[in-house]
Chain A
Amino acid sequence: MAVSLWGWPERIARSPLVRALLASAILTLTMFILLPVVPAIAGQASTGKLLFYPCTDCHPVTVDEVTGKPSHPIPIDFKGHGIVLEGHDVLGKDEAACLTCHDDSEHNPGLLRAVDGTRIDVKTGDIARLCQKCHFEKYNQFKQGTHGKHLASCVAAGCHDPHTPQYIYVGPLAPFLGTGFQIKAVGQEREPFRPIMPPPLPPATVTPLWYQIVAGVGLFLVLVIVVGLVRPAVVERLKR
């Protein structure tokens, strides 16, 4: 019996079944090795992985007092994030779309603007609260456990790519790792949803300056009288 280079009997090595099995095994092994490191292949917004984090490296929170511009300039060769929105293109064009969810670029885009006006950290915060802004009813279903809230990694951005939400990761991941295998699992047709408006600012009230002064003087007099009335009783009690 002839012996092959690897020491296998030649007859067995030539068997089509064995070759097919071997090829499958090599292919599977390659996929297992490569899958965790390649970016998600379907959604064009797979750059959602934390490539740019922390955002304040390029989007400083401090503004130069003299120039009024950010104290750290954006890197010269930077060509933009290259994120293409699909589905969420309804949010607007260019920077306007980004600012729907992200804090403005002169501050910290790593913070997302929740509907109640608070900020959510893109890495550590509860991203689902951002989705609540528009997907109010979905959010409530999500909070009630429809989407398996007991799984540690199950957050809204763990399944949905936040920039192309029709694409979902095959397995739930921590948000923005962006390294999972994505499939387009949600149709293009949009479900009707009820957006929640952001909270309006408290109304600006007008109080004339003269009234502020009169009120200040009046309240000061009230305070003086109260102290004058209460003091004897307190002193008497302390003496006792």
Chain B
Amino acid sequence: MTMTEATTSQPGIKRFIGMDWNIGALKSADRRYWSFVALLGILITLGVMAWILVMTKGGTVMAQRDGFTWGIWFANYMFYVGLAAGGLVVYASVHLFGAEQFRPLARLAVLMAGCLTMIAVLGDLTDLVRVWRIYWFALTPNLSAIFVYTGSAAGIYMVICFVDLWILITGKGGEKLAYRMTLIALPLAIYLHTTTAFVLALNKSRELWSTAVMVPIFLTSAVASGVALLLIVAYIMQRFHVLEFKPSMFRSLSTLLATVMIFDLFLLVAEIAFVYWPSSAKIGHTLRFSEFLTGPYAGIFLPVLILGGTAFALLSRRKTRHIPAVQVTASALYVVAIFFKRYTLMSMGFAIGTLGQPQAPYFPSLVEGLLALGLLALAVLFVTLAAKVLPLRVPEHEHGEEVGAPHAVASGDPALESGAAL
């Protein structure tokens, strides 16, 4: 397996920061492509206007208030950071564990991880209202606040994802550097997801958040939803002839997805059983959780169980697991389920206040909703443009069969150590 440096032999291709940017592809793009870009442009414009409103009018344009101090941005922060995990799983599988079947997906996976983390961080910034206060956040951080750690980790992780993408595309540093970057990115990703879960779990006064199972449940949800989204995007890329994948890759991905799904669902059911177990149930916990099973929040929590269970049921049958429609449907159901889960998770801490008073259920205002949509559209626009402009397709000669190659680096393979094979 080798990684080659980019070249600029074709017309319409510009070379910038060591990468080939196929600007000519945009000129030859069809009307459907530009219609979709226009759609994203409208949503981004509405989102930017919403953000300006937040900055000029203040929190009054948002439905998050004293009772619900965090809103849709935080649900999305957890959701996007989790989705980014899918990219890392694939990237690490290739470069750390030699899962060669995922190699054609590596560039797309890292690009998606970077874009998703970017909008997670941007959403975080919108909550500051006066966004320039980030200066003080960076200059005088409150080291006992967990947001300092998760926020900075998200920022660093985003940079690392884009650097990883650059390394994968340019081939600079070769397999050796890609392997070393994985060694940095993997623990950083675990750190990011753990600290994000800690944002909730360390709140002792919010009973449903304060649970030790929060970190593992967060990680499993993140990996499952991330892999599910990656699978969907891979199918879309294949549908529009941007990338090509073997059916065996989708089969491996869906098997991985089903495995993580069942762990995720198991942890969720175990948590519910713990809350309601007669000999250990605490009034505060059961009262709060009942809000989500039978109360006003049931509409957003029960879909987590129903959609999640359905998705797993679809993928659990070995005979039908390889069918693309089954894979895409199950993945879409699970991504939606995890969004509901993140929204529920955010609501769980606020549904009943710390003094015991129930809060009116939170629903994002128009400004919040369009701000969130605008950020999502921004990430989709990045991926849409990259699909045309960037060489996301991994060259055929890089589809190596040397499954143990990364380990060869560790064992001092001279070819890889020197980068001569690149």
Shortest beta-carbon distance from A76 to chain B in Å: 42
Say whether B265 faces chain A, with CB atoms less than 8 Å apart: no
Q: Is B247 an interface residue (CB 8 A)?
A: no
Kindly list chain B residues whose C-beta atoms are within 8 Å of the C-beta of A206: 57, 60-61
Please provide the chain B residues from 8 to 48 with a CB less than 8 Å away from any CB of chain A in the complex.
32, 35-36, 38-39, 42-43, 45-46
- Residue among A202, A208, A219 making CB contact with B53, cutoff 8 Å: A208
Count of residues in B whose CB is under 8 Å from the partner chain? 36
Q: Are A199 and B358 in contact (CB under 8 A)?
A: yes
Across-interface contacts of A203 in B (CB, < 8 A): 63, 65, 360
Assess whether A200 is interfacial by the CB under 8 Å rule. Answer: yes
| Chain B 36-76: CB-based contact to A (< 8 A → 1; otherwise 0) | 10110011011001100100010011110101000000000
Q: In the complex, are the beta carbons of A200 and B287 less than 8 A apart?
A: no
Q: Which residues of B approach A to under 8 Å, CB–CB?
A: 32, 35-36, 38-39, 42-43, 45-46, 49-50, 53, 57, 60-63, 65, 67, 283, 287, 295-296, 355-363, 365-367, 370
Q: Using Cβ atoms and an 8 Å threshold, which residues of chain A touch B46? A: 214-215, 218-219
Q: How far apart sit A229 and B357, CA to CA, in the bound complex (Å)?
A: 47
- Looking at chain B's contact residues, the main secondary structure is helix
Query: In whole Å, how far is A53's beta carbon from the nearest beta carbon of chain B?
Result: 29
Select which of A197, A207, A225 is within 8 A of B39 by beta carbon: A225
**What are 30 inter-chain pairs, A to B, with CB distance below 8 A?**
A116-B296, A136-B356, A137-B283, A140-B287, A196-B358, A197-B357, A197-B358, A199-B357, A199-B358, A200-B360, A202-B63, A202-B361, A202-B363, A203-B63, A205-B60, A205-B61, A205-B62, A205-B366, A206-B60, A207-B61, A211-B49, A214-B46, A218-B42, A222-B43, A225-B36, A225-B39, A225-B42, A229-B35, A229-B36, A229-B39
A19 within 8 A of B: no
Counting residue pairs across A and B whose Cβ atoms lie within 8 Å, the total is 82
B367 touches A205 (CB 8 A): yes
Shortest CB-to-CB span from B50 to chain A, Å, is: 8
Nearest-neighbour CB distance to chain A for B218, whole angstroms, equals 28
Q: Hey, which chain B residues are within 8 Å of A222, CB to CB? A: 39, 42-43
**8 Å CB contact of A207 from B36, B45, B366:** B366
Does the CB pair B366–A215 fall under 8 Å? yes
Say how far B219's CB is from chain A's closest CB, in angstroms: 33
Contact with B along A123-153 (1 / 0, CB 8 A): 0000000000000110010000000000000
Whole-angstrom distance between the alpha carbons of A215 and B35 in the complex?
Answer: 19
